[in-house]
C-alpha cells in the first residue's frame, strides 16, 4: 500500500470524475486514490470505481465537511502517512501534487495549501467569489498572524498528525474552509502556501455551488466565532 493517498470528495461528478482520477494517476501513479461519494444521484460512484479508485459512499448527501472528514478517517484508519486533497470537478491541476507534497514529506511543514494567487496563471473567480476570498484572506491572516492568500482553497496536502487531528470532534464540519486554517493554527501546526494552477469549473454544480455568497459568509463567520470561543484545551495535540 502506498504511504500517500489522494482523496477526492465528489457529489454528482459523473462524466468528470474518471478523467480527474486518470489525470491524478498520470502524475502520481504510485499513490492510492480515494473517492468519497457524497450520496450522488448520478453515476459518480460507478465511474470512480471503474477508473480504479477506492470508493466510499454516503447513503445520502451529508455535505462537503462530513465528506472530507470521512476521507480523513479512512486514511488515518488505513495507516497512510500523507494525504492530498483535490476537488472532483477538475478545477485543481494535478500536476502540482508533487509540489504540495514536497515540504510535507520533507518534514518542513504539516499542512500545505495550494494558492491560485501566488503567481501561477489560474482562472479568475467571479466578482462575488473574489470579494468573499478577500474578506476571509484579511480575517484569517489577522487571526493567525501571517498572510494566507487563498484561505478557501480545497487543494491541500498534510501529514498523519493533521489527519489524526481532523478525525476528532474539533474538525469544523459545517464550513471547513478558512476555519480549518484557524483551527490548525490554534493547535500549533505549521502551515504553508505554495502556488498552484486552478481551472474554471467545467463540470457545473459542485458541493460548493448553490451557496449564496452572503449566507456562506455569515455561516463561515459564525463557525470561526465558535472556533475562537472553544476551550483551548480541545486544541491540544
- Tell me: the pLDDT tens digits for 100-120? 999 999 999 999 999 999 988
Q: Rounded to whole angstroms, how far apart are CA atoms 6 and 36?
A: 11
Q: List pLDDT tens digits, range 166-198.
A: 999 889 887 788 889 999 999 999 999 999 999
Sign of the Cα pseudo-torsion (110, 174, 34, 117, in order):
negative
In the chain, the domains with their CATH numbers are 4-235 (3.90.550.10)
Tell me the mean pLDDT in the region 35-64: 97
Strands 32-38 and 4-10: parallel
Q: Rounded to whole angstroms, how far apart are CA atoms 207 and 185?
A: 26
Q: What is the mean pLDDT of the chain?
A: 89
Q: Got the DSSP string for 90-142?
A: S-B-GGGHHHHHHHHHTTS-SEEEEETTSSS--PPPPHHHHHHHHHHHHHHHH
Greater model confidence, 62 or 232: 62
Are 115 and 196 spatial neighbours (Cβ–Cβ below 8 Å)? yes
Are 95 and 26 spatial neighbours (Cβ–Cβ below 8 Å)? no
Provide the whole-model pTM. Answer: 0.88
Q: List pLDDT tens digits, range 66-81.
A: 999 999 999 999 999 9
According to DSSP, residue 37 is labeled E
- Predicted confidence band of residue 84 (pLDDT cuts 50, 70, 90): very high
CA end-to-end span of the chain, whole Å? 27
Amino acid at each position: 500500500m502506498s504511504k500517500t493517498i489522494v482523496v477526492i470528495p465528489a457529489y454528482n461528478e459523473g462524466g468528470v470524475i474518471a478523467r480527474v482520477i486518470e489525470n491524478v494517476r498520470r502524475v502520481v501513479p504510485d499513490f492510492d486514490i480515494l473517492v468519497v461519494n457524497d450520496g450522488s444521484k448520478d453515476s459518480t460512484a460507478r465511474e470512480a470505481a471503474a477508473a480504479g479508485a477506492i470508493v466510499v459512499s454516503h447513503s445520502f448527501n451529508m455535505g462537503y465537511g462530513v465528506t472530507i472528514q470521512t476521507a480523513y478517517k479512512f486514511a488515518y484508519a488505513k495507516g497512510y502517512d500523507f494525504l492530498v486533497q483535490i476537488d472532483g470537478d477538475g478545477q485543481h491541476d494535478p500536476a502540482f501534487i508533487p509540489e504540495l507534497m514536497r515540504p510535507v514529506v520533507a518534514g518542513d511543514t504539516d499542512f500545505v495549501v495550494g494558492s491560485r494567487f501566488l503567481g501561477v496563471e489560474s482562472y479568475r473567480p467571479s466578482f462575488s467569489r473574489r470579494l468573499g476570498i478577500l474578506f476571509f484572506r484579511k480575517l484569517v491572516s489577522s487571526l493567525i498572524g501571517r498572510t494566507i492568500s487563498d484561505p478557501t482553497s480545497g487543494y491541500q496536502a498534510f501529514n498523519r498528525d493533521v489527519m489524526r487531528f481532523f478525525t476528532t470532534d474539533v474538525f469544523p464540519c459545517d464550513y471547513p474552509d478558512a476555519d480549518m486554517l484557524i483551527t490548525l493554527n490554534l493547535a500549533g501546526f505549521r502551515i504553508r502556501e505554495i502556488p498552484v494552477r486552478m481551472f474554471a469549473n467545467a463540470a457545473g454544480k459542485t458541493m460548493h455551488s448553490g451557496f449564496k455568497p452572503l449566507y456562506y459568509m455569515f455561516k463561515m463567520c459564525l463557525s470561526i466565532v465558535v472556533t475562537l470561543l472553544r476551550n483551548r484545551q480541545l486544541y491540544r495535540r
